[in-house]
Structure 1
Amino acid sequence: MNKEALIALGLTLEQADKVIEGYGTTIPKSRFDEVNTSKKQLETDLASRDKQLEELKKVDAAGLQTKITELQQENAEAKTNYENDLKASQLSSAIKLALVGKVHDSDIATSLIDTALIELDTEGKVTKGLDEQLKTLQESKPFLFVPEKKEQKFKGWDPAGSNLDKDLPQDIGFNFAKEANSKGAPAEKALNPWGQ
């Protein structure tokens, strides 16, 4: 409370000055509650920190260092295992892609191939070691491989209109089409559809 508030309550100027000198200005209750709550929170936090420090004093530093070392070794092993699994997966996929259309069952053929002899390029394609193994495997187990297709040539009669031999006269359909295309041409250039 300040001097003006005391005067408003009915005190004289002298009385208000004496009250202010004796007690000073008063703090509003809301500000008091705010500071009091903050003080209690700080005391609680301080007690919590003291408890944490006591717990840390009980911790075995050598034991923690041993645990950290163990975890680092486990992480290194896990990373190595992951890299090996990833490499094996990439190798298997590259082999299966290289075998597409060459074998009946790529899983069986892949299981018969020694992957240690195969090398991959940076794009994951087989560069070395597969062709030699496939030749050996094809000799020992030819039933795994898809037979190569040979181009078949049919001999015999050529159907009408095939025009394989250009010296032969054209068929009637060809002649009708040619006549239709020559409509409007002079009479001497008009074609007879019967080929005569």
Structure 2
Amino acid sequence: MKKDDFLKLGLDDEIAKKCEAASLEELKEYIPKSRFDEVNSAKKKFESDVKDRDKQLEDLKKSTGNIEDLKKQIESLQKENKEKAEHYELEMQKLRVDTKIESTLSNFGARNIRSVKALLDGVDKFKFDKDGNIEGLEDQIKQIKKSDPYLFANNDTSSVKGVKPVESTAEAKSVDVNNMTYSELVSYMSNNPDFKLNN
């Protein structure tokens, strides 16, 4: 979470800075789920391909017959493997594009990535440029952000105005947040939505 997010939760500036620093430290080793899915998919595909190749080799060992039949069988297997490799490469390209779209939408503050993604034109034709970005993606997102700002969190429409926060309970007032770790503070605040820090 960013400092602004903590300030919106009612933390004072100093504690918000500490919480932001703790949050960034905690996320250093974090691997985005989309990247994990990409690597996991590649691993599963590799394992599946190895099993297929092993089975093909075993079948070839067991087969008896003339050289021409074996050659035809090998050619057939090579063609089948080439088609599988091409199909896999298309699937991985689609996964890389989806991962990039989702991370870009997240960086733009999309509230619901799936909803905003549905508004993008030509997703199936997106291609990467030399810098590893998707051509035209950011322009489309900026247009959507301009036409439908409520879909994004970092707009003025994201905060409700005119609402008075509920007063803290006596028990909540007695809590000393200065001695809490970042995780404890986040947990406490999510379990006590009425809690507000005194400035």
TM-score w.r.t. length of structure 1: 0.39
TM-score (norm 2): 0.39
Tell me which protein shows more helix as a share of its residues: 2
Q: Which has the bigger relative contact order, CA under 8 A and spacing at least 6? A: 2
